[in-house]
């Protein structure tokens, strides 16, 4: 059976779900951030699979934008984690229930 | 079958083995050259002029006890040297040692493969190597390695920016990411890019020193400060892997510098007709000679210069090299557009 | 880097650049030193107490083991103290030879210092160059007294032996070689940009502060205080020698380096003068068969390569050993400055600072 | 055939490592599995004929972003396990259920979408360049120039933001 775009999309859906599980179940905020990276990668797989299906590069261009956004998100997010950790000495998301520190 | 499977496999085996042998002999060469610089003899006992020293070293390192600290993270501790060694070897897949040649009645290319994102491949694979150092420091569960690995990761990430920016200006000149095309472009444009891009060349070389943790940027393993840095807790073959990875990386940087800036396998002055007698020398010899030149300079610098301090290194990287690289990029772009 | 908490880093006693068994407990903020606690005593052998149970001549051998890279200077200091206690007049020839030995020893000690200091900052070649020249000095010493490290080369009242024939010529030959070699070291370091960046402005200490801390020798002169026992309270034959006392201005590691580099040259100058003007005559003064100084106490200081090396000796006039024997070791006093010097600098600078103070742990712990 | 084997192998690795990422106790191991996961995703891109993106994936994700994560994990040198404190109002099972619902939904859409007549290739505007890298470059600097510039502005803002956040005193 040849590998079609459907296969890629199912793979992407599964990866997406694993990411969602990570976000919902884990309490360590760093793991949650990594789960979000997984989700973004699932999206990228989709975009590139479509790009191949449609025989043009637009999907890949979007994937580049997604990677750029992911880099920005990681930088700011990790900055927030560090700032938070400095004040509260924890990375548990359940303890992050106040906006002021 | 032969063309698609046997020859590439054969090439991989040859390149890997040649690399490993070259790496072990780099260690001997370094000891010898530094010894000469310091008016000593260097290794002399094993074989004539110490020529078999690498063999002795290898045997010694293999039969040495391999210690894992009790509170170390065992899996990561074992994986770290492998992680730092493998990327250094993978990179050789796209380095062109020479053009196509006829060997035993067959057209054989003197490179394992030529992918159209070759340079990007090198940069990206090399960027994975930093994990080996970070993880070694983390997994040792010891303070000196940890400090060293934090230094190393900061150093590698910052110098990678400067190095990659210089590569971009070379890519602009050549109009291709493929290593083979870059050499061919230097042939057709009638100059080595070291002359067209002297600034990029200098920045690449300095950045290369920093990325391979060589003196004067050998902070991560500064013996006098951090007692050996990230591999303080390592012994035996695992320590040897770190060592080999460092030298393999040196050869990678030399090979890439040769390909990008010194015309790869091209003979000196490829367009000067009366030097054509040099063509009798096989092309790969030129490549090896040029790479050897870089390696020699690496060692020479180590014998000569003191070590930078960590903050000075970062200042040099961010406040000098990166702005210069960006400026060089802008100028290259403007000149390129005006000439077209 | 570690924004959140301080890291306590234990540097030594086993560490490549603590020059022996010095232990420094660093409290770090990132790589910045917040506080440094210097722990000593790993090499304590009780030389001072031991000396109180040995007779006066046997102690010379013990003084070798204090600053073991400058043993001859220790011998001279001790012998002169006892001579002062006993009011023995030392013949001029012995004084001159002592001067030559002291200055050769200073050059040897500084060779070791420039080598290890440069090595700590990463310039490994200087180390081997400096050791190459130190070897020549050790050869001269070997010819003079038979030993290469712990010389036991003095006797109370003069010298154990006269210099071997032709030795003075060899010393002059060595001076000629050394002149060029100092330039070689300076070529590698003095104007090297990395060296300048690593040493300028590192561990700055003002003159008054250095005096208050009790620093002596090159660390004190690097801060601009022209204190040199050889000039201020001349001993041996220094009052007949022409030499300058180099002083720094900024009081940082680089100035201490420059001071020592200039001391190389001044020492060579003294060695030349003393060798060329070596008077004939006896080598031992009038010393009684049994050395038994009269009751009393005395303090006598000389300028060792590290700084002011003082001996305080009390004799009860009855026994053949000192009642109290106390050394003021320059390394020990200079090491007290380390804590002040390295606050606010980075880990890498601590290494440079230990090197720039030039401590020998044998002398610190005694 | 070879393509199918490659796909299934890579897919299994991607999913397996992804599961390890979210399930491992030790955060550093988690980060390592994330790197491996990204490497296999890059391999998948090669399979899809997007070499440039594969290289970018390794360079940016494995060489940059995950190093940042590792850095933060090492800085946040966890003294007590972050999972120790648990919120009594937390519903872990609900999380799994919701995630399962997402999987079913997305999978259903995918399968439904492809039970319809197949998508026809829609070649973009004719490009004067060939080759994966050149085509992406062409698209980025023509049709998608403004998004590209906005993305670079975003990166600049993120950079400044990260510096402001991470620095103790300005």
Chain D contacts in chain B segment 198-257 (CB below 8 A): none
Interface test with B, best of C122, C185, C195, C351 (most B CBs within 10 A): C122
Give the total number of structural domains in chain D.
Answer: 2
Asked, for residue B57, whether it belongs to a domain, the answer is no
Q: What pLDDT sits at residue B109?
A: 75
pLDDT surpassing 50 at residue C47: yes
Mean pLDDT (chain D, rounded) = 79
Q: Which residues contact D89 (CB under 8 A, 6 or more apart)?
A: none
Q: What pLDDT sits at residue D137?
A: 83
Q: What pLDDT sits at residue B73?
A: 78
Q: Give percent above pLDDT 90 in chain C.
A: 0
- In Å, what is the CA distance from D71 to each residue of B142, B212, B236, C72? 16, 20, 28, 53
Report which DSSP code applies to A100. -
Query: What is the Cβ-side half-sphere exposure of residue C15, based on CA atoms within 13 angstroms?
Result: 23
Residue numbers in B near C121 (CB within 8 A):
224, 306-307
Shortest Cα–Cα distance, C132 to chain B (Å) = 9
Q: Do chains B and A touch (3 or more CB pairs under 8 A)?
A: no
Task: Give the chain B residue nearest C28 (alpha carbons).
Answer: B147
pLDDT surpassing 70 at residue C359: yes
Domain spanning A27-90, CATH architecture: Orthogonal Bundle (1.10)
B265 contacts B186 by C-beta, under 8 angstroms:
no
- In Å, what is the CA distance from D129 to each residue of A49, D24, D125, D137? 21, 46, 11, 9
B23: left (phi over 0), alpha (psi -120 to 50) or beta: alpha
Q: Which residues contact C129 (CB under 8 A, 6 or more apart)?
A: B38, B39, C115, C181, C184, C185, C188
Task: Give the chain A residue nearest C4 (alpha carbons).
Answer: A86
B120 contacts D52 by C-beta, under 8 angstroms:
yes
Residue-range domains of chain C with CATH: 56-365 (1.10.645.10)
Facing C349 at nearest CB: one of B40, B306, B309? B309
| Three-class secondary structure of residue B36 per DSSP | helix
Interface touch D7/A3, C-beta < 8 Å: yes
- In Å, what is the CA distance from B3 to each residue of B107, B180, B252? 10, 19, 27
B126 contacts B308 by C-beta, under 8 angstroms:
no
- What are the helix (H) ranges across chain C? 47-51, 58-64, 71-86, 92-120, 124-145, 167-189, 193-199, 207-213, 218-222, 229-232, 253-276, 330-335, 337-342, 347-357, 361-365
Asked, for residue B34, whether it belongs to a domain, the answer is no
- What are the helix (H) ranges across chain B? 7-37, 53-63, 74-90, 118-128, 130-139, 143-174, 179-188, 193-196, 198-211, 223-226, 236-261, 283-304, 310-315, 322-339
Distance CA(B122)–CA(B127), nearest Å, equals 8
CB atoms within 10 A of CB C216: 26
pLDDT surpassing 50 at residue C1: no
Distance CA(C56)–CA(B98), nearest Å, equals 78
- Single out the residue in D79, D100, D117 at which a domain terminates: D79
* Total length of chain B: 340
Global pTM reads: 0.82
pLDDT surpassing 60 at residue B163: yes
Task: Give the chain B residue nearest C17 (alpha carbons).
Answer: B224
Average pLDDT on B123-133 reads 84
Q: Spell B294-308 as b/e; 16+ CB within 10 A means b.
A: bbeebbebbbbbbbb
pLDDT surpassing 50 at residue C222: yes
Helix (H) or strand (E) holding C300: strand C296-304
Shortest Cα–Cα distance, B216 to chain D (Å) = 24
Most distant CA atoms of chain D, gap in Å:
61
Residue numbers in A near C4 (CB within 8 A):
85-86, 89
Facing D67 at nearest CB: one of B123, B157, B177? B157
Facing C122 at nearest CB: one of B154, B216, B226? B216
Query: A56-89 pLDDT, tens per residue?
Result: 778 888 888 998 888 898 888 888 888 777 777 7
Q: What pLDDT sits at residue C3?
A: 45
Interface touch C1/D75, C-beta < 8 Å: yes
| Three-class secondary structure of residue A98 per DSSP | coil
Question: Encoding tokens for residue D157?
Answer: 């803002």
**Quick one: which of B294, B72, B103 has its CA closest to B202?**
B294
Instruction: Taking the CA atoms of C120, C124, C125 and C127 in sequence, report the sign of the dihedral they define.
Output: positive
Distance CA(A51)–CA(B299), nearest Å, equals 48
Mean pLDDT (chain C, rounded) = 84
Q: What pLDDT sits at residue B300?
A: 87
Query: B95-117 pLDDT, tens per residue?
Result: 888 777 777 777 777 777 777 88
Q: What pLDDT sits at residue D122?
A: 61
Which residues does residue B100 pair with via DSSP β-bridges, in sequence order? B109
**A89 inside 8 A of chain C by CB:** yes
Q: How far apart are the first and last CA of chain C?
A: 39
Q: CB burial class (10 A; 0-12, 13-18, 19+) of residue C201?
A: middle
Shortest Cα–Cα distance, B54 to chain D (Å) = 33
Query: B186-245 pLDDT, tens per residue?
Result: 878 777 887 888 888 888 888 888 888 777 777 666 666 666 677 777 888 888 888 888
pLDDT surpassing 60 at residue D83: no
Average pLDDT on C299-306 reads 88
Which residue's structure tokens are 């003082």? C310
Average pLDDT on B267-294 reads 76
Helix (H) or strand (E) holding D2: helix D2-23
DSSP string, C314-355: EE-SSSSS-SEEEEE-HHHHHHTHHHHHHTTSBHHHHHHHHH
| Three-class secondary structure of residue B94 per DSSP | helix
Query: For every residue of C249-291, which 3-state class applies, written as one string?
Result: CCCCHHHHHHHHHHHHHHHHHHHHHHHHCCCCCCCECCCCCCC
Which residues does residue B40 pair with via DSSP β-bridges, in sequence order? none
Query: D11-26 pLDDT, tens per residue?
Result: 898 889 988 888 888 8
Interface touch C31/B39, C-beta < 8 Å: no
Boundaries of every domain in chain A: 27-90
Helix (H) or strand (E) holding D18: helix D2-23
D46 contacts D54 by C-beta, under 8 angstroms:
yes
- Single out the residue in D41, D63, D79 at which a domain terminates: D79
Q: What pLDDT sits at residue B220?
A: 66
Measured at the CA of B149, the angle between CA B26 and CA C23, to 5 degrees, comes to 100
pLDDT surpassing 60 at residue D84: no
More confident residue, B27 or D121: B27
More confident residue, B223 or A50: A50
Measured at the CA of D85, the angle between CA D80 and CA D86, to 5 degrees, comes to 150
**Quick one: which of B184, B180, B163 has its CA closest to B94?**
B180
Radius of gyration (Cα) for chain B, nearest Å? 21
**Quick one: which of A37, A26, A18 has its CA closest to A75?**
A37
Q: Domain range spanning residue D151?
A: 130-170
Interface touch D63/B128, C-beta < 8 Å: yes
Question: Encoding tokens for residue B310?
Answer: 């960590």
Facing B224 at nearest CB: one of C119, C189, C346? C119
Give the total number of structural domains in chain B.
Answer: 1
Interface touch D168/C3, C-beta < 8 Å: yes
C360 contacts C306 by C-beta, under 8 angstroms:
yes
More confident residue, D133 or C304: C304
**C195 inside 8 A of chain B by CB:** yes
Average pLDDT on B60-74 reads 82
Residue numbers in C near B223 (CB within 8 A):
16
Q: What pLDDT sits at residue C153?
A: 81
C164 contacts C216 by C-beta, under 8 angstroms:
no
Facing D96 at nearest CB: one of A21, A30, A68? A21
Residue numbers in C near A89 (CB within 8 A):
4
CB atoms within 10 A of CB D146: 8
A4 contacts D7 by C-beta, under 8 angstroms:
no
**C4 inside 8 A of chain A by CB:** yes
| Three-class secondary structure of residue D8 per DSSP | helix
pLDDT band per the 50, 70, 90 thresholds, residue C2: very low
Residue numbers in A near D63 (CB within 8 A):
none
Distance CA(B327)–CA(C155), nearest Å, equals 71
DSSP string, B182-216: HHHHHHHTTS-HHHH-HHHHHHHHHHHHHHTT-TT
Average pLDDT on A47-63 reads 84
Distance CA(B79)–CA(B72), nearest Å, equals 12
Q: What pLDDT sits at residue A30?
A: 85
Interface test with B, best of C13, C32, C117, C348 (most B CBs within 10 A): C348
- In Å, what is the CA distance from C252 to each residue of C196, C215, C220, C358? 11, 14, 10, 14
Instruction: Taking the CA atoms of C6, C11, C16 and C18 in sequence, report the sign of the dihedral they define.
Output: positive
A51: left (phi over 0), alpha (psi -120 to 50) or beta: alpha
Task: Give the chain A residue nearest D105 (alpha carbons).
Answer: A13
Q: What pLDDT sits at residue C147?
A: 84
pLDDT surpassing 50 at residue B262: yes
Shortest Cα–Cα distance, C4 to chain A (Å) = 6
Q: Which residues contact D32 (CB under 8 A, 6 or more apart)?
A: B76, B79, B131, B135
pLDDT band per the 50, 70, 90 thresholds, residue B270: low
Q: Give percent above pLDDT 90 in chain B.
A: 0
Shortest Cα–Cα distance, B1 to chain C (Å) = 54
Report which DSSP code applies to D26. S
Interface touch C3/A82, C-beta < 8 Å: yes
């Amino acid at each position: 059976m040849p590998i079609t775009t459907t296969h890629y999309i199912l793979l992407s859906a599964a990866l997406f779900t694993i990411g969602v599980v990570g976000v919902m179940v884990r309490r360590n905020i760093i793991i949650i951030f990594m789960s979000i990276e997984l989700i973004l990668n699932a999206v990228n797989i989709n975009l590139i699979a479509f790009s191949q299906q449609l025989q043009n590069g637009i999907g890949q261009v979007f994937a580049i934008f997604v990677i750029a956004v992911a880099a920005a998100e990681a930088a700011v997010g990790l900055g927030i984690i560090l700032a938070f950790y400095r004040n509260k000495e924890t990375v548990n998301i359940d303890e992050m229930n106040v906006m002021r520190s | 079958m032969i063309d698609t499977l046997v020859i590439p496999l054969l090439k991989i085996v040859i390149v890997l083995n040649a690399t490993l042998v070259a790496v072990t002999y780099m260690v001997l060469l370094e000891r010898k050259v530094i010894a000469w610089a310091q008016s000593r003899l260097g290794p002399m006992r094993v074989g004539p002029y110490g020529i078999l020293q690498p063999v002795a070293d290898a045997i010694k390192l293999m039969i040495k006890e391999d210690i894992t600290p009790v509170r170390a993270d065992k899996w990561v501790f074992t994986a770290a040297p492998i992680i730092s060694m493998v990327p250094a070897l993978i990179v050789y897949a796209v380095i062109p040692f020479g053009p196509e040649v006829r060997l035993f009645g067959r057209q054989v290319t003197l490179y394992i493969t030529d992918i159209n994102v070759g340079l990007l491949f090198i940069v990206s694979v090399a960027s994975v190597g930093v994990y080996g150092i970070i993880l070694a420091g983390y997994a040792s569960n010891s303070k000196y390695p940890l400090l060293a690995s934090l230094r190393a990761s900061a150093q590698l990430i910052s110098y990678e920016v400067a190095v990659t920016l210089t590569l971009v200006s070379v890519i602009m000149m050549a109009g291709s990411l493929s290593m083979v095309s870059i050499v061919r472009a230097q042939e057709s444009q009638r100059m080595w890019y070291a002359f067209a891009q002297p600034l990029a060349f200098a920045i690449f070389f300095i950045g290369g020193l920093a990325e391979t943790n060589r003196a004067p940027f050998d902070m991560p393993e500064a013996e006098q400060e951090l007692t050996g840095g990230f591999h303080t807790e390592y012994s035996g073959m695992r320590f040897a892997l770190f060592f080999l990875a460092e030298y393999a990386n040196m050869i990678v940087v030399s090979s890439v510098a040769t390909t990008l800036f010194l015309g790869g396998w091209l003979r000196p002055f490829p367009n000067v007709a009366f030097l054509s007698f040099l063509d009798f020398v096989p092309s790969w010899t030129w490549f090896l000679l040029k790479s050897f030149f870089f390696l020699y300079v690496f060692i020479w610098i180590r014998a000569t210069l003191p070590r930078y301090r960590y903050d000075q290194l970062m200042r040099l990287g961010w406040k000098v090299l990166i702005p210069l690289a960006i400026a060089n990029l802008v100028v290259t772009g403007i000149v390129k557009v005006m000439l077209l | 880097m570690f924004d959140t908490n301080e890291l306590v880093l234990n540097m030594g006693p086993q560490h490549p650049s603590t020059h022996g068994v010095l232990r420094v407990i660093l409290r770090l903020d990132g790589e910045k030193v917040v506080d440094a606690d210097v722990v000593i005593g790993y090499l304590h052998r009780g030389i001072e107490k031991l000396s109180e149970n040995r007779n006066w001549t046997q102690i010379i051998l013990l003084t070798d083991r204090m600053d073991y890279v400058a043993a001859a200077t220790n011998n001279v200091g001790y012998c002169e103290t006892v001579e002062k206690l006993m009011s023995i007049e030392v013949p001029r020839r012995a004084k001159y030879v002592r001067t030559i030995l002291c200055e050769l020893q200073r050059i040897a000690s500084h060779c070791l210092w420039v080598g290890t200091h440069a090595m700590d900052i990463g310039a490994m070649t200087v180390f081997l160059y400096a050791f190459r020249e130190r070897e020549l000095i050790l050869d001269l010493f070997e010819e003079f007294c038979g030993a290469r490290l712990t010389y036991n080369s003095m006797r109370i009242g003069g010298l154990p032996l006269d210099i071997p024939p032709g030795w003075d010529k060899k010393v002059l030959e060595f001076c000629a070689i050394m002149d060029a070699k100092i330039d070689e070291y300076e070529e590698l370091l003095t104007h090297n940009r990395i060296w300048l960046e690593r040493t300028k402005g590192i561990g700055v200490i003002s003159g008054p502060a250095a005096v208050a801390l009790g620093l002596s020798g090159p660390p004190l002169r690097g801060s601009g205080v022209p204190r040199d026992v050889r000039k201020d309270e001349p001993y041996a034959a220094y009052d007949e020698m022409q030499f300058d006392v180099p002083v720094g201005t900024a009081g940082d590691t680089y100035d201490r380096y420059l001071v020592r580099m200039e001391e190389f040259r001044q020492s060579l100058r003294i060695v030349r003068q003393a060798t060329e003007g070596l008077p004939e005559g006896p080598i031992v003064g009038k010393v009684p068969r049994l050395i038994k100084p009269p009751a009393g106490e005395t303090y006598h200081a000389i300028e060792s390569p590290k700084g002011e090396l003082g001996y305080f000796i009390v004799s009860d006039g009855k026994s053949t050993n000192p009642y109290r024997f106390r050394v003021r070791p320059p390394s020990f006093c200079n090491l007290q400055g380390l804590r002040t010097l390295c606050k606010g600098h980075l880990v890498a600078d601590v290494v440079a600072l230990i090197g720039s103070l030039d401590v020998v742990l044998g002398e610190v712990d005694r | 055939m070879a393509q199918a084997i490659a796909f299934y192998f890579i897919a299994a690795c991607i999913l397996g490592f992804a599961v390890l990422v979210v399930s491992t106790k030790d955060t550093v191991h988690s980060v390592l599995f994330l790197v491996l996961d990204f490497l296999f995703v890059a391999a998948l891109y090669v399979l899809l004929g997007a070499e440039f993106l594969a290289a970018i994936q390794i360079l940016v994700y494995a060489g940059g972003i995950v190093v940042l994560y590792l850095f933060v994990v090492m800085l946040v040198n966890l003294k007590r396990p972050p999972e120790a404190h648990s919120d009594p109002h937390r519903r872990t099972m609900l999380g799994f259920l919701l995630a399962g619902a997402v999987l079913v939904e997305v999978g259903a859409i995918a399968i439904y979408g492809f039970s319809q007549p197949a998508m026809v290739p829609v070649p973009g505007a004719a490009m004067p360049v060939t080759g994966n890298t050149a085509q992406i470059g062409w698209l980025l600097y023509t049709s998608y120039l403004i998004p590209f510039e906005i993305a670079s502005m975003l990166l600049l803002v993120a950079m400044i933001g990260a510096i402001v956040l991470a620095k103790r005193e300005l």
